[in-house]
Amino acid sequence: MNFDYKTELKKIATLNSPIIISSGTFGTSGAYLDLIKNQNIGAVVTKTITLEAKSGNPQPRIFEGKNFIVNSIGLENNGVYDFVINFDKNYKNIPFPIIVSISGNDESEYVKIIKKINELNSPVAVELNLSCPNVDSEGLASAMNLKSFGKTVFNCSQVSKFPIITKLSPFQCINTMYAETAEKNGTTAISLINTVPAMVIDTENMSPFLGNTVGGMSGPAIKPIALKMVHEIYKSVTVPIIGMGGISNYRDALDFLMVGATAVSIGTMNLVDPELPNKILKNIDNFLTKKNIHDFDELKKRFQKNL
Partner 1 sequence: MKINSEDCKILDNIKMSEDGYVITLKTVKFKDKFSPGNFLQLRCSEENTVLRRPFSILEETDGHIKLYFKVVGRGTRRLSNRKSGETVNIIAPLGNSFTVLAKKRVLLIGGGCGISPLLNLSFFLSKKQSIVDALFGFRNEQDYPKMIVENRKRELNNLWITLDETNKKEYNEGTTIDYLKKINIDMYDAFYCCGPVKMMEKLSDILKGKWAQVSLEARMGCGIGICYGCSIKTTTGSRRVCSDGPVFNLNEVIWDEF
* Binding map of ligand FMN across residues 57-86, x = CB under 6 A, - = no contact: --------------x-x-x-----------
Does 22 help bind partner 1 (rule: CB under 8 A)? no
Euclidean distance between the first and the last CA atom of the chain, given in angstroms as a whole number: 30
* Of residues 190, 150, 199, 183, the one with CA closest to residue 168: 190
Does 242 help bind a second copy (rule: CB under 8 A)? no
Give the interface segment with a second copy, choosing from 40-48, 108-116, 222-230, 234-242 (CB under 8 A). 222-230
Sign of the Cα torsion 172, 176, 178, 182 reads positive
Does 68 help bind partner 1 (rule: CB under 8 A)? yes
Q: Which of a second copy, partner 1, ligand FMN, none has residue 198 at its interface (CB below 5 to 8 Å by kind)?
A: a second copy
Select the residue interacting with ligand FMN from 97, 240, 245, 277 (CB under 6 A): 245
Can you list the alpha helix ranges (DSSP code H) found in 18-126? Answer: 30-36, 79-85, 87-91, 107-117
CB 278, CB 38: distance < 8 Å:
yes
173 labelled catalytic: no
Least distance CB 287 / partner 1 (angstroms): 20
Query: How many alpha carbons lie under 13 Å from residue 81 in its C-beta half-sphere?
Result: 4
CB 257, CB 299: distance < 8 Å:
yes
Does 307 help bind a second copy (rule: CB under 8 A)? yes
Select the residue interacting with a second copy from 138, 166, 255, 270 (CB under 8 A): 255
Burial of 218 (0-12, 13-18, 19+ CB in 10 A): buried
Q: Which residues bind ligand FMN (CB under 6 A)?
A: 22-25, 47-48, 71, 73, 75, 101, 129, 138, 167, 194-195, 218-219, 222, 244-247, 266-269
